[in-house]
Structure formats: C-alpha cells, structure tokens
C-alpha cells in the first residue's frame, strides 16, 4: 500500500517535485533527438552535393576523353567556321536546277526552275517516267514515296502473321516467343543494315530499299499487332467459341474483328516512318531523294542540295499530316490528328529516320 501513495505524491508535487524534473528531462531528450536529426539531414545533403559534384566532374572527364578519342579539336573547328558559314549561306538560296528534266534542258536555275516546271505539268510526269535519263528532284521524290508504300505493303502480310502468332491468346506460352523473338531480332537490325544485307541479292538500288523496308515492317508492325491483340476483350472471343467455331474462325471473327481499325491505323503510322527511312536509305545509294541530296553534297553544290532537302521536308510533312488525319478518324474517341506544329517537331525524331528505336506510341 506504501508504493502507490509515494507515486501519488510525486505526481501532485508541482514545484520541487519529480514531475517537473521528468518533463524537463523529456524536453531535453526531444531537443537532442531533433538536433541529431537535423545533423543527419545536413550530412546527407552534404554527401548528396559532393556526389553530384563528383558526378558532374566524372561526366566532364568522360566527355573529354570521348571527344579526344574521336579526334575532336576545338582549334580545328574554329579554323573551319568561316568556310562552314559560307556553305550555310548557300543553303539559304536553294537552286532547283534539277527539279525536272525540263528545267535542266532549259537551263533554268533557282526558284524560276521550280515555277517553270510547274507551269509545264507534263515535265513532272516526264521526269518520273524517264528517271533513267537523270535523277531529278521530282523523280527522286516519287521514287522515295513508292519505296515507302511498296515496302510497307510487302511487309504487311508477314507482320500480320507474326503479330497474330506472337500473341499468347493465339499461340500458347512459350511457343509464341518463337515469333516474338523473330520480330525482336528483325527490329534490332536497322533498315540501313538490312539494305546492305540484301546487296548480294539485288544490289544497292530502290529494289533493295523496298526489301529492307519490308523486312523492317515485319518486325515493327508485327510487334504493334501483337500488343494490340493482348488488350482485346475476352467476351467476343468466348461468344464465337461457344458457337462451335474453329480456332482460325475464332481468331478472325473474335479477335481480328476487334482490332481491324487499330491495325489499319498502326499500318498508316508505320507508313509514315517508312517514307522517312526511304530517304535515309537513299543516302547509301538506294535511290530516291536521299541519293540526290548525297550526290549534290558530294559535289559541294549546297544550293542544289538545299532544294532536295526542301522537297524531303514537303514529302514528310504531307505524308504525316494525311496519315495523322486518317488515323484520327479510325481510332475510337480520337477526333483530332497531329497538327502542323507537332508534325514539324516530329521531324527531329532521329529514330524514325534511321529505322531504329521503339515505334510504340
């Protein structure tokens, strides 16, 4: 009975009692822990800043070593700047001398060659049909577009087949990975390499470019098809299966019917990319506008190369705008296509030009 009384006395003693001493001790302990926490935070911040500085220094050192390894010297760049700006000036005054065979025959230069050719519409068709007489801008532009379209159409059937068979809903795991792996392997090789692989078969020409784009389409478009099939609803599939339909009928009427619009939209998207790749393939000699621009640049005719580059921009923008509008109408809930500003910004996407990188939007 004595202990409880003593405890009661400690709690009620307000002045010289034990209660104040306990509170003071607890407050002191809280202040001490707070100071320790602040010190710990400051140490962590200091370490973080030190690591950030070390990271920046390390990055700068690695960048310097890398640039030195590549042979970069600032003095050489500075010495070449006047010539560089002189050539850039030539780009600002494009020469359309080679826009058509008519302009070449008439000796037209500058913008007058372009306007003169459009004033004679027959000269445009002549340059396309007689491109063996000389690679013109109009002939190269049509060739580039044809390479992109035919390559896409060529690769579409295999892309559809591999895309369907790569879906786990059609082919059970792990056998579907045979087709997924094939598409991944194709996608890992850029179209610029595929055109070189086909050199022994057809050489470096527009046919080789078409085969390279067709192969690239199988990997990229097929993977998009597979991803689209993985997201379809199960209800229509079960409904078709309950009628006693065979597996191919279930795939066609229960699965593909759900994604037919998306498949067309993805195909248009890949067509956009393939037109860009067709330009890049021309740089290695596979025909089209890329080959024209490379030929003008090798002759240091920068004003004529600028005319070809302007045509490249016009083609890419036109194809992307048309494709974007069509896809906007095909996709449920999507009413607006890509704007002109977005399309211009999209020109800076290097992966679409080189046929590398992911294509999933």
The per-residue DSSP string of 211-249 comes to HHHHHHHHHHHHHHHHHHHTTS-SHHHHHHHHTT--HHH
Would you say how long the chain is, in residues?
A: 361
Q: Quick one: how many helices (H) and strands (E) in the chain? A: 18, 0
**pLDDT tops 90 at residue 64:** yes
Residue 9 has a pLDDT of 45
How do residues 159-209 score in pLDDT, each as one tens digit? 999 999 998 888 888 888 899 999 999 999 999 999 999 999 988 899 999
Alpha carbon 313 to chain centroid distance? 17
Q: Once rounded to an integer, what is the mean pLDDT over residues 239-246?
A: 82
Least confident of 8-17, 123-132, 268-277, 322-331: 8-17
Least confident of 46-60, 71-85, 96-110, 237-251: 237-251
Half-sphere exposure for 357 (CA within 13 Å, toward CB): 11
Residue 232 has a pLDDT of 83
**pLDDT tops 60 at residue 359:** no
Q: How far is CA 288 from CA 61, 217, 239, 267, 268, in A?
A: 42, 19, 50, 22, 21
How do residues 34-44 score in pLDDT, each as one tens digit? 888 899 999 99
Q: Once rounded to an integer, what is the mean pLDDT over residues 81-106?
A: 87
Closest CA relative to residue 115, chosen from 129, 125, 133, 103: 103
How do residues 145-170 score in pLDDT, each as one tens digit? 999 999 999 999 999 999 999 988 88
Q: Once rounded to an integer, what is the mean pLDDT over residues 228-241?
A: 84
Q: Are 273 and 350 in contact (CB under 8 A)?
A: no
**pLDDT tops 80 at residue 26:** no
Closest CA relative to residue 147, chosen from 270, 263, 287: 287
Nearest-angstrom CA–CA distance, 81 and 145: 36
Q: Which pTM value belongs to this model?
A: 0.74
Residue 48 has a pLDDT of 93
């Amino acid at each position: 009975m004595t202990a409880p009384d003593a405890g009661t006395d400690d709690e009620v003693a307000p002045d010289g009692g034990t209660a104040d001493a306990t509170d003071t001790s607890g407050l002191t302990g809280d202040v001490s822990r707070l100071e320790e926490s602040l010190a710990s935070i400051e140490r962590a911040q200091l370490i973080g800043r030190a690591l950030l500085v070390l990271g920046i220094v390390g990055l700068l050192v690695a960048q310097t070593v890398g640039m030195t390894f590549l042979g970069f010297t600032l003095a050489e760049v500075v010495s070449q700047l006047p010539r560089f700006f002189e050539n850039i000036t030539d780009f600002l005054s494009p020469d359309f001398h080679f826009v058509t065979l008519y302009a070449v025959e008439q000796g037209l230069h500058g913008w007058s060659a372009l306007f003169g050719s459009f004033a004679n519409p027959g000269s445009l068709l002549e340059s396309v049909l007689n491109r063996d007489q000389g690679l013109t801008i109009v002939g190269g532009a049509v060739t580039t577009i044809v390479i992109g379209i035919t390559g896409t159409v060529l690769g579409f059937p295999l892309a559809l087949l591999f895309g369907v068979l790569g879906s786990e809903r059609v082919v059970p795991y792990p056998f579907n990975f045979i087709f997924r792996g094939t598409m991944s392997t194709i996608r890992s090789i850029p179209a610029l390499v595929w055109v070189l692989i086909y050199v022994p078969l057809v050489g470096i020409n527009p046919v080789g470019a078409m085969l390279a784009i067709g192969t690239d389409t199988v990997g990229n478009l097929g993977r998009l098809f597979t991803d689209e099939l993985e997201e379809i609803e199960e209800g229509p599939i079960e409904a078709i299966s309950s009628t006693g339909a065979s597996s191919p009928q279930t795939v066609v009427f229960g699965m593909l019917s759900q994604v037919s619009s998306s498949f067309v939209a993805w195909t248009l998207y890949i067509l956009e990319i393939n037109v860009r790749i067709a330009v890049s393939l021309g740089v290695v000699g596979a025909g089209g506008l890329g080959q024209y621009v490379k030929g003008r640049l090798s002759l240091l005719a920068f004003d004529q190369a600028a005319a070809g580059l302007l045509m490249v921009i016009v083609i890419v923008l036109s194809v992307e705008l048309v494709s974007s509008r069509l896809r906007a109408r095909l996709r449920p809930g999507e009413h607006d296509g890509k704007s002109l500003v977005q399309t211009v910004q999209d020109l800076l996407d290097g992966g679409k030009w080189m046929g590398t990188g992911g294509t999933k939007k």
